[in-house]
Amino acid sequence: MKFYHVDFEPVGRRGKCRHDESLLDCARRLGVGIISLCGGLGKFHCCKVQILKGFLSEPTSNELESFSSQELKDGYRLACQTYVTSDCKVRIPLESLTTPQRIQVEGLEVSVNRKPSISPYHIQVSSSSLSDLRADEERIIETLNHQYKLHCRSIDIDVLRNISPLLRSWNWEAQVSLRGNEVIAISPWPTHQLGLAIDLGTTKIAGYLLDLSSGQTLAAEGIMNPQISYGEDIVSRITYAIDSSAKAVKLREVAVEALNQLVNNLCSRVHAKSEEIVEAVIVGNTAMHHLLLGLPVRQLAFSPFVPAVRRALDVKARDIGLSIAPGAYVHLLPNIAGFVGADHVAMLLATEGIWKDESLAIAIDIGTNTEVSLIDNGEISSVSCASGPAFEGAHIKDGMRAANGAIERLQFENDQVNYETIGGVPPVGLCGSGILDAIAQLYLAGVINRDGRISNHARVRIHEGQPEFVLVSEEERSGSPAITITQKDVREIQLAQGAIRSGINVLLQERSYSEEEIKKVIIAGAFGSYIKVISAVSIGMLPLLPLDRFQQVGNAAGIGAKLGLLSDDKRVKAQAIARRTSYIELATAPHFQEIFVQAIYLG
């Protein structure tokens, strides 16, 4: 019997597929939920997947009927009809996924004095007549300036393109949305002014729809970043983009498409139209920021790793392809450096209330890339750590993203493994917090030593020449392969936690502080919110401090984006934070290699 390796994206589940097993069966065996209504007969279009890499059986007649020639060319297949003939990478479109990914959209609530960049004005202009031949544009601007003592100077060209019939159909009464001195939208009076805040992560995208007049969050939703199919981490995605301009365009297009999809989802939840969104704020790491805007990324890949743009940007939504109000702008919070982006600034902005009165605080955003800032009486230094996607479940034998069936909590007591899964369903793998718990528990139990070596134990077996610890056995899984922690998994986690810890240590060293002097450790990001802090401290990823000094703040970057949406003052503050943050390139820090080698030891 032949086996091939199959990688299912965006869920991030990897496994072996038998040559006589359909992709659908393989996915099910691995716990990946692909919708299938026909029971494998290829009757419906439901188990559609896209093959990104690898070779497969010839398309069946059902598939030839189901797809256009362009779709076939793009690698679309029906999972129930397809057998792999080589190692493969398979993308499951969102519509074919049964279990949506868990994506953190919640975070701490921060109150803010609303002062959005968009203000609504009610106008009733006089109708045109033979004795008043002013143009429609002048009519609006003059009424606005006269009535409200403003200095409005122009109306966006896309707004002008509909202005005359709209004004007449509304009987010359309208709500005008002003941004600075420019009219960026016109609508019937009264209309809700909606705003969009986006946290564009390497793996996940969180979106929030806000009412700008009340500040209330009307809807929140998370989706996967579809760019993941073209590279899991920042570096591989940049590498893809600089390979050809067509590939960079592709990355940009799929991200924009996902954002527009997210906008539609958010709007349909509250029965709003996307044109009612008059302003958007987007935060993301520097690479996501650049890829979305179509900015060059080659220079991000080579020392000294500088961004094309670091300061905050205001760009017409249409210039990046985002479908909201025709004249609306997107505000992008500033980046700090090539690998510390606007999402980190947003996180610092959102958590300012926590760190600003502490003499020494650490703010840390754990993800595929981990950014750490040390805040020393308001002075900020930051580093970027290539922690990798291990905490997203990648490169871990039974790792998976946080979807149904993922073990998210784990305890090892009296040689017994107790666990909780997402959705409470039978386990199919481990997500980041589960992996962290497993390593911590095994380390504390002495099954793994400081070096990371797995010792002998009743649950340890040798598989393909390497020791692995059986968390859930074949029997417990009714014949499915056991869920284990392999020696290689431990090494991956050591590298990840070592990267993060050495980032913290470099920052402390640079300012000559010791760990104990840290008053607050702010942990942000989806992974950071779900972990048990004690596990992270146990393995040495985070410094050994009293637990009350740690604060998990959820998706603080998303909160920061919301703050930027609701208040111009917060945008100014974000610029100030970015400006006073000095970036330290880890590779150039004194003794970095030593610090890193030290940090990969557990405990």
Distance, in Å, from the CA atom of 530 to the CA atom of 553, rounded to the nearest integer, reads 10
Q: Which of 337, 349, 422, 507 binds its own copies (CB under 8 A)?
A: 337
Q: Which of 7, 136, 221, 489 binds its own copies (CB under 8 A)?
A: 136
Distance, in Å, from the CA atom of 398 to the CA atom of 429, rounded to the nearest integer, reads 5
Binders of its own copies among 149-168, rule CB under 8 A?
A: 154, 157-158, 160-165, 168
Does 25 bind its own copies (CB under 8 A)? Our answer is no
Distance, in Å, from the CA atom of 82 to the CA atom of 77, rounded to the nearest integer, reads 7
* Sign of torsion over alpha carbons 181, 184, 189, 193: negative
Which range touches its own copies (CB under 8 A), out of 115-123, 266-274, 313-321, 476-484?
313-321
C-alpha closest to that of 329 among 42, 160, 77, 116: 116
Least distance in angstroms from the C-beta of 503 to its own copies: 17
Distance, in Å, from the CA atom of 336 to the CA atom of 342, rounded to the nearest integer, reads 7
Contact of 16 with 6, CB cutoff 8 Å: yes
Q: Which residues contact 404 (CB under 8 A, 6 or more apart)?
A: 33, 99, 421, 422, 423, 425
Does 49 bind its own copies (CB under 8 A)? Our answer is no
Q: Which of 299, 411, 480, 551 binds its own copies (CB under 8 A)?
A: 299
Does 174 bind its own copies (CB under 8 A)? Our answer is no
Least distance in angstroms from the C-beta of 334 to its own copies: 9
Indicate the residue among 28 and 316 with the shorter CB distance to its own copies. Answer: 316
Q: How many CA atoms lie within 13 A of 479 on its CB side?
A: 1
Cβ atoms within 10 Å, residue 436: 30
Strands 88-91 and 48-53: antiparallel
Least distance in angstroms from the C-beta of 575 to its own copies: 12
Indicate the residue among 72 and 235 with the shorter CB distance to its own copies. Answer: 235
Indicate the residue among 162 and 214 with the shorter CB distance to its own copies. Answer: 162
Q: Which residues contact 53 (CB under 8 A, 6 or more apart)?
A: 87, 88, 89
Least distance in angstroms from the C-beta of 475 to its own copies: 56
* Sign of torsion over alpha carbons 232, 234, 238, 241: positive
Q: Can you say how many angstroms the Cα of residue 277 is from the centroid of all Cα atoms in its chain?
A: 22
Q: Which of 583, 592, 595, 596 binds its own copies (CB under 8 A)?
A: 583
Residue 426 Rama label (left phi>0; alpha psi -120 to 50; beta): beta
Distance, in Å, from the CA atom of 79 to the CA atom of 518, rounded to the nearest integer, reads 52
C-alpha closest to that of 17 among 44, 59, 63, 55: 55
Enumerate the β-bridge partners of residue 572: none
Which range touches its own copies (CB under 8 A), out of 79-87, 299-307, 357-365, 530-538?
299-307
The SS3 call for residue 522 is: strand
Q: Which of 310, 409, 532, 571 binds its own copies (CB under 8 A)?
A: 310
Indicate the residue among 194 and 248 with the shorter CB distance to its own copies. Answer: 248
Which range touches its own copies (CB under 8 A), out of 270-278, 304-312, 532-540, 567-575?
304-312
Phi, psi of 381 (to 5 degrees): -120, 145
Binders of its own copies among 339-378, rule CB under 8 A?
A: none
Cβ atoms within 10 Å, residue 53: 13
Least distance in angstroms from the C-beta of 164 to its own copies: 4
Q: Which of 26, 220, 281, 293 binds its own copies (CB under 8 A)?
A: 293
Number of residues located near its own copies, criterion CB under 8 A: 47
Contact of 581 with 380, CB cutoff 8 Å: yes
Indicate the residue among 165 and 424 with the shorter CB distance to its own copies. Answer: 165
Q: Which of 68, 69, 95, 304 binds its own copies (CB under 8 A)?
A: 304
Cα separations in angstroms, 522 against 31, 372, 540, 549? 34, 10, 16, 8
Does 495 bind its own copies (CB under 8 A)? Our answer is no
Record the tokens describing residue 174, joined without a space: 């309208």
Q: Which of 138, 173, 243, 594 binds its own copies (CB under 8 A)?
A: 138
Indicate the residue among 151 and 298 with the shorter CB distance to its own copies. Answer: 298
Indicate the residue among 71 and 585 with the shorter CB distance to its own copies. Answer: 585
Does 246 bind its own copies (CB under 8 A)? Our answer is no
Write each residue from 520 to 559 as x if it is in contact with its own copies (CB under 8 A), else as -, in one continuous string.
Answer: ----------------------------------------
Does 572 bind its own copies (CB under 8 A)? Our answer is no
Does 284 bind its own copies (CB under 8 A)? Our answer is no
**Amino acid letter, residue 168:** R
Q: Which of 109, 257, 319, 415 binds its own copies (CB under 8 A)?
A: 319
Contact of 406 with 483, CB cutoff 8 Å: no
Write each residue from 109 to 128 as x if it is in contact with its own copies (CB under 8 A), else as -, in one continuous string.
Answer: -------------------x
Indicate the residue among 139 and 520 with the shorter CB distance to its own copies. Answer: 139
Does 231 bind its own copies (CB under 8 A)? Our answer is no
Least distance in angstroms from the C-beta of 276 to its own copies: 21
Contact of 91 with 52, CB cutoff 8 Å: yes
Distance, in Å, from the CA atom of 231 to the CA atom of 482, rounded to the nearest integer, reads 28
Does 129 bind its own copies (CB under 8 A)? Our answer is yes
Does 94 bind its own copies (CB under 8 A)? Our answer is no
Q: Which of 75, 180, 231, 296 binds its own copies (CB under 8 A)?
A: 296
Indicate the residue among 108 and 256 with the shorter CB distance to its own copies. Answer: 256
The SS3 call for residue 239 is: helix
Cα separations in angstroms, 466 against 401, 455, 456, 479? 24, 11, 12, 22
Cβ atoms within 10 Å, residue 182: 15
Q: Which of 309, 386, 444, 445 binds its own copies (CB under 8 A)?
A: 309
Contact of 385 with 340, CB cutoff 8 Å: no
Does 303 bind its own copies (CB under 8 A)? Our answer is yes
Indicate the residue among 9 and 279 with the shorter CB distance to its own copies. Answer: 279
Which range touches its own copies (CB under 8 A), out of 351-359, 432-440, 472-480, 583-591?
583-591
**Amino acid letter, residue 39:** G
Which residues would be at the binding site for its own copies (CB under 8 A)? 128-130, 132-138, 154, 157-158, 160-165, 168, 293-296, 298-299, 303-311, 313-316, 319-320, 335, 337-338, 583, 585, 588
